[in-house]
Amino acid sequence: MIFSVKQSSGQPIYAQIVQQIRLAVEMGVLRPGDPLPGIRTLAEQLVVSPNTIVKAYSELETSGIVSLRQGSGAYIAKSPRTRSQTERLRAAQERVKLLVQSLQDDRFSDDEIQRFFEAELFYPQLKS
């Protein structure tokens, strides 16, 4: 699994990592027992402080998604997700896919579409 971060996204880097791991678990890309990259390894790969990775992994552990094992690393914990939640996520993903396609048909660029989503998610005070 390859993770990436955008310094300019307006979202903290640790939150981007948390979001990517949660999505990977929800979509079944990461399964219970799968190892995550080591803290130093991932920090070097993303060119961020190891403390950022520690914060992301700690948040994931608190929410029950990741199990941290002293000296052994971080692993995906037993999944608390039920099948109905997975189905809801897939249905939501399909709706997003259709919306993106519709916006592309209206000749909006991928960058513009991404900014629409980010504005809705990260700046709720601007909503009408």
Q: Is the pLDDT of residue 8 over 80?
A: yes
| pTM attached to this predicted model | 0.63
Higher pLDDT, 87 or 115: 115
- What is the C-alpha to C-alpha distance for residues 19 and 60, in angstroms, rounded to an integer? 9
Q: Is the pLDDT of residue 125 over 70?
A: no
**What's the pLDDT at 82?**
42
Please list the helix, strand and coil fractions of the chain in percent, rounded to the nearest 5, in that order: 60, 5, 35
Task: Give me the CATH code for the 13-76 domain, please.
Answer: 1.10.10.10
Q: What is the pLDDT of residues 29-76, one digit of tens each?
A: 898 999 999 999 999 999 999 999 999 999 999 888 999 988 889 999
User: Following DSSP, what letter does each residue of 51-91 receive, concatenated?
Assistant: HHHHHHHHHHHHTTSEEEETTTEEEEPPP---HHHHHHHHH
DSSP 8-state assignment for residue 4: -
